[in-house]
Structure 1
């Protein structure tokens, strides 16, 4: 009986550890492979979320609020890096192109478009979070929205021919 009480006390005193980021079974190679095999923009769009979904399926507790948020955030980071890479390339092309629209250089128009897009993305994802009425699903909904819209913008910047 004493051993049982000691075991119960130890279990109850042990800290409850939530799913940690390092516990996620995430790999961006799933999305990268999907993108490299996609024949067109529609195929590339279908790749959005593939790594996050696999992460949720392969991680114990991956469909918990914490698990979903973590997996979605990892893919968001992947797409954010792609977005920055593609924006830099589009900016270089726009600068070299030096076309003007109503007196505005194309590089300036690109910058203004990107700033407006950031405002749009943030407002859209705030609205999606609001649909959860303060519930715990709001976190994963927000991160999923940020991931999806960031991925779409990254693909747009790569495919748009800006500055060509």
Structure 2
């Protein structure tokens, strides 16, 4: 079983060894591997796009966690490790969307900056502003999720809570960069 984000969080000290060990023991005892598929989240997001063509509605936020929740209902998904596998699956889904949206925004920003340079504008660089915003968002996300984990006071729920936080924060940032709640 691969739990890349879990191992990464453990190495960064975000997940304590007791949380990681307890989750691995529980997962081994259960013996079943949960099944993650992004279908429930994708269907919800597609419906949100359909009902909010201007990308102004906040109902899309209700889509975050749908696929992870469905995964947790499959055999093994109700263990600590199973929950982490499911949350990590959806986190990966949102992270891919975030990376694609960011790459698209960077490309547009470069074009806009080039146009502004052509006309001799002294306006601030959109690309530099976007990069600075994204660089500042990463430690904000990490600090927010570390606080979320601290609420569990070392309990085994801290691992899933931390991954759920990363999933929600990453989804929010992905949606923002995709154009939701724009001007």
Fold conserved (TM > 0.5)? Answer: yes
1:88 lines up with 2:103 in the alignment:
yes
Match of 1:151 in 2: 171
1:61 lines up with 2:76 in the alignment:
yes
| Unpaired segments ≥5 residues, structure 2 | 1-26
Structure 2 distance, partners of 1:90, 1:160, is 13
- The match for 2:58 among 24, 39, 42 is 42
| Unpaired segments ≥5 residues, structure 1 | 1-15
- The match for 1:137 among 145, 153, 157 is 157
Structure 1 distance, partners of 2:105, 2:30, is 38
Higher relative contact order (CA 8 A, sep 6+): 2
Structure 1 distance, partners of 2:143, 2:102, is 21
Structure 1 distance, partners of 2:139, 2:93, is 20
1:61 deviates by: 2.9
TM-score (norm 2): 0.72
**1:31–1:160 distance in 2 versus 1, CA, 3 Å:** closer
1:50 deviates by: 0.4
Structure 2 distance, partners of 1:110, 1:161, is 16
Poorly superposed stretches of 4+, deviation over 2 Å:
16-20, 99-104
Q: Name whichever of 60-69 and 149-158 sits farther off.
A: 60-69
Q: Tell me the matched-pair count.
A: 146
Residues 19 and 66 in structure 1, CA contact (< 8 A), matched pair in contact too = no
Pairwise CA RMSD of aligned residues? 2.5
1:29 deviates by: 1.7
Residues 33 and 77 in structure 2, CA contact (< 8 A), matched pair in contact too = no
Structure 2 distance, partners of 1:19, 1:75, is 21
Instruction: Report the structure number with the largest CA radius of gyration.
Output: 1
TM-score (norm 1): 0.80
User: After the TM superposition, which residues 1-164 of structure 1 pair with which residues of structure 2 at under 5 Å, given as runs?
Assistant: 17-18=28-29, 23-38=33-48, 39-40=51-52, 41-57=57-73, 59-98=74-113, 104-159=124-179
1:23 deviates by: 2.0
